[in-house]
């Protein structure tokens, strides 16, 4: 199950409820230490040097507990109680250029501005440019506000315990927290709190998608229609179609502009390719529609705008076909009340979201969950996939889910087209329309997890590799 994003007060209540149940702090610390070590091992090579900075609180205990599990590494522990006296030891340890620093100085209990001595100590860590694994929160960061308490560690990875703290998701916390990972199973009781924001875990998708019926055939798994591509932007149509294929719907038909038909058709084999004209009618077998990737040629905008709006309304009036709207087509939507069972999905990046709401990108990024709410409400309670760092999936009400996979190397032209195609390919399948939210979360998570696997294997991968690898991760 996804875990809720919690405040400091909620985390303390959760811990106290755990101790009241009979679980010991020592056992939880032991399990946290194992998780820290596992992450540290994945971030270093055999024989590498690791420096553990351990404070006097439980955060330091967690970091020290990792030492016994760091086999094959050269480990040094620096106990830090007074920064002025510990600074020479830090400087000496840094001269040996450790491969990783484990930051166990301050946890979520820090509620005051750090004095000059502590600020100088944390700045020395940052200036070393050594990769840092922060335990629970980067030291110096307020876990509720996401603001530094004078100074804060700049982590490559933050392994937060139990559940993400709300401050770690604040816009200003991203550069300090680095990649956020959750040590969810560390001996705590089930989280007693619920909230609007929930963190997606890989285990959420155990057994999903469900196994296909043995006697299934092409007609059992849906027919996706994709309306995409225009002159100069044919690649988006091809990538969307290939992303859809990775979801394995029974059939995929791509409708492109006549000017690019031949170049698109020559790159696709199993996907059927047709020319889209204003009078075109979708086959009765179609079970979902994707519109938008690559519909950006200036000479076609007015025609495409009219087509998108007609489809948005017509599908609402005449059928309950799922419709995914991406890229340029997002700018052409109009407010429209949807029927209860309609499936409508929009997939904006922050710039597109800003245009949809008449706001600036800065305003969108300052409160991404609210942007999801506002877009959904404006466009008939549609589902929203707000892309970017920690992609959000949600609607005008109910839970919003924060994606945990992916990395900055997804910031390549075409990765969004692949995601839109993959989402639509899944939603074309009747069996995956029953729980739209889970299907969307799965698509976003697997797309990101594939990028993570590619980044581990090869640092210069391209979007074509993403298509080829989609589905292997997880």
Q: How does strand 383-386 pair with strand 344-346?
A: parallel
Query: In residues, how long is the chain?
Result: 474
Average pLDDT over residues 425-429: 97
Q: Are 255 and 225 in contact (CB under 8 A)?
A: yes
Q: Is 157 helix (H, G, I), strand (E, B) or coil?
A: strand
pLDDT of residue 114: 95
Average pLDDT over residues 129-142: 97
Question: Which ranges of 321-461 does DSSP label H, i.e. alpha helix?
Answer: 350-357, 361-366, 368-378, 415-427, 436-457
pLDDT band at residue 315, thresholds of 50, 70 and 90? low
| 167-222 pLDDT per residue, tens | 999 999 999 999 999 999 999 999 999 989 999 999 999 999 999 989 999 999 99
Question: Which ranges of 51-138 does DSSP label H, i.e. alpha helix?
Answer: 58-65, 83-95, 116-127
225 bridge partner residues: 253, 289
Structure letter (DSSP) for residue 180 = E
Beta strands of 193-280 (E only): which ranges? 197-199, 223-227, 251-256, 272-275
What CA–CA distance (Å, rounded) separates 298 from 461? 31
Q: Which of 429, 3, 85 shows the shortest CA–CA distance to 223? A: 429
What CA–CA distance (Å, rounded) separates 116 from 149? 11
Block residue for tokens 């309609």: 342
Q: How does strand 251-256 pair with strand 223-227?
A: parallel
What CA–CA distance (Å, rounded) separates 20 from 23? 7
CATH of domain 218-469: 3.40.1190.20
Q: Are 125 and 98 in contact (CB under 8 A)?
A: no
Determine the topology of domain 3-192 in CATH.
Rossmann fold (3.40.50)
Q: Are 196 and 174 in contact (CB under 8 A)?
A: no
pTM of the predicted model as reported, rounded to 2 decimal places: 0.94
What CA–CA distance (Å, rounded) separates 382 from 338? 8
HSE-up (13 A, CA, CB side) for residue 92: 8
Other CB atoms within 10 A of residue 92 CB: 11
Give the pair of three-digit tokens for residue 453. Answer: 């696997």
Contacts for 310 with CB less than 8 Å, ≥ 6 apart: none
| Domain segments of the chain as ranges | 3-192, 218-469
> 58 — phi, psi (to 5°)?
-65, -25
pLDDT band at residue 1, thresholds of 50, 70 and 90? confident
Average pLDDT over residues 99-103: 98
pLDDT of residue 304: 72
Average pLDDT, the chain: 93
Q: How does strand 100-104 pair with strand 74-79?
A: unpaired
**Element (DSSP H or E) covering residue 12:** helix 8-20
More confident: 299 or 248: 248
Domains 3-192 and 218-469 share a fold: no
| 239-259 pLDDT per residue, tens | 999 999 999 999 999 999 888
Structure letter (DSSP) for residue 141 = B
What CA–CA distance (Å, rounded) separates 436 from 265? 31
């Amino acid at each position: 199950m996804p875990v809720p994003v919690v405040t400091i007060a909620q985390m303390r209540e959760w811990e106290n409820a755990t101790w009241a149940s009979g679980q010991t702090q020592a056992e939880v610390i032991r399990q946290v230490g194992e998780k820290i070590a596992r992450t540290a091992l994945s971030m270093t090579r055999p024989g590498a040097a690791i420096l553990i900075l351990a404070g006097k609180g439980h955060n330091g205990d967690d970091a020290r507990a990792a030492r016994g599990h760091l086999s094959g590494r050269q480990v040094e522990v620096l106990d830090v109680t007074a920064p002025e006296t510990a600074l020479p030891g830090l400087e000496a340890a840094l001269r040996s250029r450790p491969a990783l620093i484990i930051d166990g100085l301050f946890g979520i209990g820090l509620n005051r501005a750090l004095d000059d001595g502590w600020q100088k100590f944390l700045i020395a860590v940052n200036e070393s440019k050594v990769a840092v694994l922060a335990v629970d929160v980067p030291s110096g960061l307020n876990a509720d506000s996401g603001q530094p308490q004078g100074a804060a560690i700049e982590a490559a990875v933050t392994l937060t315990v139990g559940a993400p703290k709300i401050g770690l998701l604040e816009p200003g916390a991203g550069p300090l927290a680095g990649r956020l990972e959750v040590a969810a199973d560390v001996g705590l009781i089930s989280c007693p709190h619920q909230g609007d924001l929930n963190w997606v875990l890989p285990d959420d998708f155990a057994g999903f998608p469900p196994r296909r019926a043995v006697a299934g055939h092409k007609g059992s798994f849906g027919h996706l229609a994709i309306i995409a591509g225009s002159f100069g932007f044919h690649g988006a149509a091809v990538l969307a179609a290939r992303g859809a294929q990775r979801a394995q719907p029974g059939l995929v038909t791509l409708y492109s502009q006549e000017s690019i038909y031949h170049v698109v058709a020559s790159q696709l084999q199993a996907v059927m390719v047709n020319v889209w004209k204003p009078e075109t009618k979708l086959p009765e077998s179609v079970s979902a529609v994707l519109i938008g990737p690559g519909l950006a040629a200036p000479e076609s905008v007015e025609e495409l705008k009219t087509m998108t709006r007609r489809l948005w309304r017509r599908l609402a009036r005449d059928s309950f076909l799922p419709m995914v709207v991406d890229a340029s087509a997002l700018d052409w939507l109009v407010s429209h009340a949807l029927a209860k069972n309609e499936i409508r999905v929009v997939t904006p990046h922050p710039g597109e979201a800003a245009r949809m709401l008449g706001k600036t990108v800065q305003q969108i990024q300052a409160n991404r969950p609210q942007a999801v709410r506002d877009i959904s409400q404006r466009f008939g309670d549609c589902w929203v996939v707000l892309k970017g760092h920690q992609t959000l999936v949600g609607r005008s009400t109910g839970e919003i889910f924060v994606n945990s996979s992916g990395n900055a190397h997804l910031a390549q032209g075409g990765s969004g087209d692949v995601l839109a195609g993959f989402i639509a390919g899944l939603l074309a399948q009747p069996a995956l329309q029953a729980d739209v939210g889970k299907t969307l979360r799965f698509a976003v998570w697997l797309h990101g997890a594939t990028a993570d696997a590619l980044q581990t294997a090869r640092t210069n991968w391209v979007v074509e590799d993403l298509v080829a690898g989609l589905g292997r991760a997880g």
